[in-house]
Structure 1
Amino acid sequence: MKIERLFDFLEYYKNTYPQKQDALASKIDGEWVKYSITEYTDIVRDLAYGLINLGVKKGDKIASISPNAPEWNFIDMAVSSVGAIHVPIYPTISSSDYEYIFNHAEVSMVFISGKAMYNKIVDILPKTPTVSKVYSFTDCKHAPNYKEVIELGQKEPQAEKLKIIQAGIVTDELATIIYTSGTTGIMKGVMLSHNNLISNALATSPVPQLGVEHKALSFLPLCHVYERMLNYMEQYNGISIYYAENMAKIIENIQELKVDMMSTVPRLLEKVYDKIVAKGEALDGFKRKVFDWALELGFNYDIEGNNTAIYNMKLAIADKLVFSKWREAFGGNMSVMVSGGAALQTRLGRIFWAAGIPVVEGYGLTETSPVISVNTLLSGELMIGTVGVLLPEVEVKIAEDGEILSKGPNLMLGYYKEKALTEEVIVDGWFHTGDLGELIDNKFLKITGRKKDNFKTSMGKYVAPGHIEETMKESSFIDMIVVVGENQKFAAALIVPNFEHIKDWCSKNGKEALSNEQAIDDADIKKAIKEEIAILNTRFGSHEQVKQFRLIADEWTVESGFVTAKMSIKRSVVTKAYQHLVDDIFK
């Protein structure tokens, strides 16, 4: 069958994989609760009937605020099947942001995860007059359970009405509004059609090379287009989707389920790698030498397979002694991890491939549903250091100033209620991404920076901070970093150290354990970081080198507002918060 509307994925799933017993799953009270494809489709059907009985009409805006869970999918599919518009919202934003979105989108109904989320929005409900009803996925004293909508649909089926409604829904109609502030802080409602998301899901479906017998772990927010689109793709392929309990239990869930794939962001891979290295550095004597030798070998892995026979022989030994344990840590079945949202360090890409844990990096934006390009497991479609080949039917051209322009079936309808802003970014059919890049061999897209991030020093030299930051993060001492220096004589940096590494470093060097605040003032630690920066600086021209830095004790998190949900640093927020340190550097 042809998939033209988002809810068509469900009919396709049921027809293609009718025996699927774990289409979706989440852990409740220590047990994995699984939904078969039959249960999934029945719940969505009854929810759709219930929504019709509640008076939901085509074009109504229905919001959901919830961590990843099967219920998120039930609402998503039911809303789209009655022609309403799904407005998925992050569960971590502020009350004022919820108020803005409810009013701007004119949301009529809200589905929330439970009591904690209700408490977060209760005070703004009197200020959001279009919201008529709030339902909860779990027991909540002040909000009816969403199962009441299901029961209403079961009591009063609306099969004929639903059939008529669905017949009037076409592929290019608005399906969802996704509010994104990105790293700029300016909230925009990105309008995506059914076809926008479907085209992306179908185009990326060959990437994992997995099917009905495989499992995926999902932990990135479903309210973000990246994970949402991949969930559609996984359902199209018949891959079981298990939702991680929380961020702290990702590795535990991977090992328990022995999943075959997951999507990720570089931040998580960096954290996992740092923990592996910390364990390796705790080894003594011969074992430590073997570990360090294996790392060095992995960093030199040729992804295209052009490794010498001697190298392959060494790698086989390293695999048996070191890398096989990495695979065990990832459950033993991890066939592919899809990385996006930010740049992946080249050395990490190489070493994970050397360890037999393939990581494919892609690129896109909410406005492009999201994928523009992606590396794949297919021969000739993988190049470390790039974000891969363009998806079928997606076009890219590089503007004179280096900006990446793109168009294709994945390009958004526009920004909701923001015609002028839409016309600023879509010119003659080409979307201006704001990212800088180049095409390698006229095939592989490489990101070289962010147009608005680049700055000019007082000496007239341009600096692209993104590349410098990614390079500096190769130091085990550096967790997060923002390079500054606009209109100044040199480039400098604000650095959040890797406090876990510092703790291990202090132990090995006979120093007492230090608090974060003590660590950033410690002369030995500053000296060690300075030495690491000096080594990494040799890769850059003089005007790009980090000449000074200041250490920061506070970790930058989504909750603190310093990073986005996909773990990209909000540069302007960071520099504003630590302007006193920037001033101190350049005084």
Structure 2
Amino acid sequence: MREFTVPPVVSGSPAGGLADVVFERAERDPDRVVLGRKTAGVWRDVTSAELAGEVLALAKGLLAQGVRFGDRVAVMARTRYEWTLFDFALWAVGAQPVPVYPTSSAEQVHWILYDSSCTACVVEDEDQAMTVGSVIEGLPQLRLLWQLDAGAVAELVAAGRGVDEDVVHGHRRAVTPEAVATVIYTSGTTGRPKGCVLTHENFMFEADTLVSRWESVFRAGPGEQPSTLLFLPLAHVFGRMVEVAAVRAGVKLGHQPALAASELLPDLAAFRPTFVLGVPYVFEKVFAAARRAAEAEGRTGPFDRAVETAVRYAEAREQKAFGTGPGPSAALRMEHQLFEKLVYGKVREALGGRVRHAMSGGSAMSRRLGLFFDGAGITVFEGYGLTESCAAATANPPGAVKYGTVGPPIPGTTVHIAEDGEVWLYGRHVFSGYLGDPGATRDVLREGWLATGDLGRLDGDGYLTITGRKKEILVTSNGKSVAPAALEERVRSHPLVSQCVLVGNDRPFVAALVTLDMEGIAHWLSMRGLAQRAAEQLVGDPALTAEVRRAVVAANTLVSQAEQIRAFRVLAGQFTEERGLLTPSLKLKRRAIEKAYAREIAGLYPS
């Protein structure tokens, strides 16, 4: 199949802008809880009336301080309550938030603020204020700087007390769906980041489509309010879409700034969301932690049997959904029930205990991991999209999840596979272009079609599988083309492996650089009664090398002999954003990695 379209479920064009829903809901249902806010370690509810009041007060302050309709204002912070306040307050006055990752370098901050002509900037703390300060000489248009941890919100609220509410509402009513809502910069894996211009209509169409089609996710059981804890970065389009969709759907939204298990897991237990949205990394970590706990208790065998049962159970349900099987047998259902309390309930408890649905995006999730979570009682809807498509363009639908794929197009979207295998997208969520860069816009937008740069295939049901990225294809000196993503993902699924990067361009064969998961390593050493050692001391360890080799051998079963990994090198360090080897959204910067490890790569090939 070369092209597949799913009809829209959202009819007509939206009206107004993104801030309208905050005030409309406050009038219609003022006591509904719409946000959770953590203060002094305790979560408290925020009603729709309270949210509207806070947004209005902040919007008045922004106007008093000189923010005008159409101004761009950078927001540089972790995922926190105040980011959502600023987003909706800026939208209420017709301004355009420009998200900046809090870990961005001074050079990256300068480029984004300069390229987008930001007139103001919100930062989280003193370190970020100093980063902006270090490049302010080159930002003549930047007039205002506010620091959240220094009382920015209170300062702005105080400044706006003399502004009439009608002035804010006048600005808000002037916002049209076609107006620019935000400029989100790409991760810059292959060059300087580009500013994606996204409109209010892009976000409203995308959010309302997701809420309508995935209605079972955005509602809860009897006596429960739907809720989600957002731990994705709000600087990324995925996190931003979650924020918008939750507010539009009346879902209780909480914010968690850290992905570290020590901080995330306690908040999941306290907030108890009904669904979560994350990247595969999060689900991999939950699974790995569950397996380590089982091994520490001497229950590795039962845990592994529970995993196999969950996978078989989910596969049987999947086959029934697509009319290729009868569903789980009576024996399999009994076996599955046996592991419910022993294993599956504990996995769900790690996510707060109430989660029954999850959405995953950003990178590929292994089919087996998705099946396991499904069998453990959490349906993971994997999807695919880009900043340029305002988050999801495809996603597995309720009742028809096909693990290992990113699903069919979301309603109102068409997916087309070009002659060279490139994925093209068409729909009302596709962006209008790159800010100030018509050449780059022409490269990807062709009569409304978005050429994604990703390679993929559609099956007979219209489900998309991403097979690689055009710019990441390796071509060996023998002329063999190799898509690295699937092999890297399989190697990375080993509990002792953190990251994997394939190399082999213009080389006689494919090889790999592998980094270690130090949590997994600590557990591995402990279970063997060995003293803890640093990564530098482990490189070259025969037992560890044998473990990594097993991961490589498993990955090689996916491809032909000519595409297999023939050599690998275990590294002591990690590929990190601080070293310039990862983007802020954790994507590999392959060229930078190859340059940083040129000596190690050369050592993988005979001279």
- TM-score, with length taken from structure 1: 0.94
For 1:493 and 1:71, locate their aligned partners in 2 and report how far apart those are by CA, in whole Å.
42
Structure 2 matches for 1:2-401, cutoff 5 A? Answer: 3-21=15-33, 23-139=34-150, 145-159=152-166, 161-206=167-212, 207=214, 208-210=217-219, 213-248=225-260, 249-284=263-298, 287-300=299-312, 301-302=314-315, 303-304=317-318, 305=320, 306-376=327-397, 378-380=398-400, 382-401=401-420
For 1:400 and 1:424, locate their aligned partners in 2 and report how far apart those are by CA, in whole Å.
17
CA pair 19-92 structure 1, distance change in 2 beyond 3 A: same
Q: Is contact 1:298-1:354 (8 Å) kept?
A: yes
Match of 2:454 in 1: 435
The C-alpha deviation readout for 1:231-289, integer Å capped at 9, x for no partner, is 111112211111125223111111122111121111121122111111222233xx332
For 2:187 and 2:350, locate their aligned partners in 1 and report how far apart those are by CA, in whole Å.
35
The C-alpha deviation readout for 1:296-321, integer Å capped at 9, x for no partner, is 22233314252222211111112232
CA pair 575-16 structure 1, distance change in 2 beyond 3 A: farther
User: Aligned to 1:178, what secondary structure does the other structure show?
Assistant: strand
Single out whichever of 541-550 and 107-116 deviates more from structure 2: 107-116
CA pair 91-33 structure 1, distance change in 2 beyond 3 A: farther
Q: Is contact 1:110-1:135 (8 Å) kept?
A: yes
User: Aligned to 2:603, what secondary structure does the other structure show?
Assistant: helix
Could you tell me which amino acid in structure 2 is paired with residue 279 of structure 1?
A
For 2:511 and 2:174, locate their aligned partners in 1 and report how far apart those are by CA, in whole Å.
57
Q: Is contact 2:61-2:159 (8 Å) kept?
A: yes
For 1:443 and 1:254, locate their aligned partners in 2 and report how far apart those are by CA, in whole Å.
35
Deviation at 1:507, TM superposition (A): 3.5
Q: Is contact 1:3-1:198 (8 Å) kept?
A: no
For 1:244 and 1:531, locate their aligned partners in 2 and report how far apart those are by CA, in whole Å.
36
- What do you get for the CA RMSD once the two structures are aligned? 2.0
Deviation at 1:182, TM superposition (A): 4.0
CA pair 523-436 structure 1, distance change in 2 beyond 3 A: same
CA pair 250-294 structure 1, distance change in 2 beyond 3 A: same
Deviation at 1:517, TM superposition (A): 0.4
- Is structure 2 residue 602 aligned with structure 1 residue 556? no
Deviation at 1:16, TM superposition (A): 4.6
Match of 2:484 in 1: 465
For 1:508 and 1:156, locate their aligned partners in 2 and report how far apart those are by CA, in whole Å.
64
Structure 2 matches for 1:414-425, cutoff 5 A? Answer: 414-425=433-444
Q: Is contact 1:257-1:331 (8 Å) kept?
A: yes
Could you tell me which amino acid in structure 2 is paired with residue 174 of structure 1?
V
Q: Is contact 1:188-1:415 (8 Å) kept?
A: yes
The C-alpha deviation readout for 1:507-539, integer Å capped at 9, x for no partner, is 344544321001112122112322342243233
For 2:59 and 2:520, locate their aligned partners in 1 and report how far apart those are by CA, in whole Å.
51
The alignment covers a number of residue pairs equal to: 577
For 1:446 and 1:277, locate their aligned partners in 2 and report how far apart those are by CA, in whole Å.
28
User: Aligned to 1:198, what secondary structure does the other structure show?
Assistant: helix
Could you tell me which amino acid in structure 2 is paired with residue 156 of structure 1?
V
Deviation at 1:73, TM superposition (A): 1.4
For 1:535 and 1:345, locate their aligned partners in 2 and report how far apart those are by CA, in whole Å.
13
For 2:26 and 2:533, locate their aligned partners in 1 and report how far apart those are by CA, in whole Å.
57
CA pair 389-15 structure 1, distance change in 2 beyond 3 A: farther
CA pair 135-513 structure 1, distance change in 2 beyond 3 A: closer
For 2:539 and 2:102, locate their aligned partners in 1 and report how far apart those are by CA, in whole Å.
32
CA pair 531-391 structure 1, distance change in 2 beyond 3 A: closer
Q: Is contact 1:19-1:37 (8 Å) kept?
A: yes
Q: Is contact 1:436-1:448 (8 Å) kept?
A: yes
For 1:535 and 1:226, locate their aligned partners in 2 and report how far apart those are by CA, in whole Å.
31
User: Aligned to 2:297, what secondary structure does the other structure show?
Assistant: coil
For 2:296 and 2:328, locate their aligned partners in 1 and report how far apart those are by CA, in whole Å.
30
User: Aligned to 1:154, what secondary structure does the other structure show?
Assistant: coil
- Is structure 2 residue 552 aligned with structure 1 residue 533? yes
The C-alpha deviation readout for 1:426-474, integer Å capped at 9, x for no partner, is 1122111011111122421111111111121111211110011112223
The C-alpha deviation readout for 1:521-578, integer Å capped at 9, x for no partner, is 2122112322342243233210121110011111233344332333322222222211
Q: Is contact 1:229-1:369 (8 Å) kept?
A: yes
Identity of aligned pairs, percent? 31
Q: Is contact 1:217-1:259 (8 Å) kept?
A: yes
CA pair 68-464 structure 1, distance change in 2 beyond 3 A: same
Deviation at 1:77, TM superposition (A): 1.1
Single out whichever of 55-64 and 480-489 deviates more from structure 2: 55-64
The C-alpha deviation readout for 1:8-34, integer Å capped at 9, x for no partner, is 22134324532123x223323222254
For 1:69 and 1:507, locate their aligned partners in 2 and report how far apart those are by CA, in whole Å.
36
For 1:16 and 1:361, locate their aligned partners in 2 and report how far apart those are by CA, in whole Å.
34
For 1:345 and 1:267, locate their aligned partners in 2 and report how far apart those are by CA, in whole Å.
11
For 1:167 and 1:326, locate their aligned partners in 2 and report how far apart those are by CA, in whole Å.
47
Q: Is contact 2:286-2:350 (8 Å) kept?
A: no
Question: Does 1 or 2 have the higher relative contact order (CA < 8 Å, sep 6+)?
Answer: 2
- Is structure 2 residue 500 aligned with structure 1 residue 491? no
Deviation at 1:3, TM superposition (A): 4.8
CA pair 172-321 structure 1, distance change in 2 beyond 3 A: same
User: Aligned to 2:505, what secondary structure does the other structure show?
Assistant: coil
Could you tell me which amino acid in structure 2 is paired with residue 317 of structure 1?
L
CA pair 123-353 structure 1, distance change in 2 beyond 3 A: same
Single out whichever of 316-325 and 423-432 deviates more from structure 2: 316-325
Q: Is contact 1:368-1:410 (8 Å) kept?
A: yes
Of 531, 536, 539, the residue aligned with 1:517 is 536
Could you tell me which amino acid in structure 1 is paired with residue 598 of structure 2?
Q
Q: Is contact 1:484-1:493 (8 Å) kept?
A: yes
Single out whichever of 207-216 and 248-257 deviates more from structure 2: 207-216
**Unmatched 5+ stretches in structure 2:** 1-12, 321-326
The C-alpha deviation readout for 1:334-381, integer Å capped at 9, x for no partner, is 0211111000011110111111122111110000001101113x223x
User: Aligned to 2:177, what secondary structure does the other structure show?
Assistant: coil
Match of 2:494 in 1: 475
Q: Is contact 1:399-1:405 (8 Å) kept?
A: yes
Q: Is contact 1:375-1:389 (8 Å) kept?
A: yes
Q: Is contact 1:86-1:177 (8 Å) kept?
A: yes
Could you tell me which amino acid in structure 1 is paired with residue 98 of structure 2?
V
Could you tell me which amino acid in structure 2 is paired with residue 192 of structure 1?
L
Q: Is contact 2:16-2:175 (8 Å) kept?
A: no
User: Aligned to 1:205, what secondary structure does the other structure show?
Assistant: helix
